[in-house]
Amino acid sequence: MMSDLDDLYQQVILDHGRKPRNFHAIDDASGRAEGFNPLCGDRVTVYLKRDDGHIADAAFTGSGCAICTASASMMTQVVKGKSLADIEMIFERFHEMTTGREFTPQQAEALGKLAVFAGVKKYPVRVKCATLPWHTLKAAIENKQQPVSTE
């Protein structure tokens, strides 16, 4: 059962890694930030359009491993239409889940499809691949000029 679930999770990650969604630049982005994970070589640029306290649109470009690309792909899908407060909460939970802190099934449920990344906590070196797009998104919300590095 558990390995079936692992397989399913892997399939979702591989699918997004091969065919990333929202993989393009946004020319008139209201926020943009670059992120770099030197440990793996992942590079992402996150673009977003803000509409009051919401993210109206989000996209990314870059080159990263399957986990990083899949994480960025799913992240851009999840954050669209969400309020900044909701995004902050999702990011916190995502971070808790991938770093293997105390995590309840209710919290996993709140993460919805992002729960596929729960498996990365078994591979500490991969955690940064999964969280890099989120750190970069946060910088894009704040429109930071300084690139984000996981080191």
Q: Under the rule (CB under 5 A), what is the footprint of Zn ion? A: 40, 42, 65, 68, 129
| Closer of 39 and 108 to Zn ion (Cβ) | 39
CA–CA distance, 78 with 111 (Å, rounded to integer): 9
Rounded least distance, CB 40 to Zn ion, Å:
3
Sign of CA dihedral 84, 24, 93, 124: negative
Give whichever of 26 and 120 is closer to Zn ion, judged by the CB atom.
120
Residue 43 CB, shortest distance to Zn ion, in Å, is 10
At its nearest, how many Å lie between Zn ion and the CB of residue 39?
7
Q: What is the CA radius of gyration of the chain?
A: 14
- Closest to Zn ion by CB, 65 vs 108, is 65
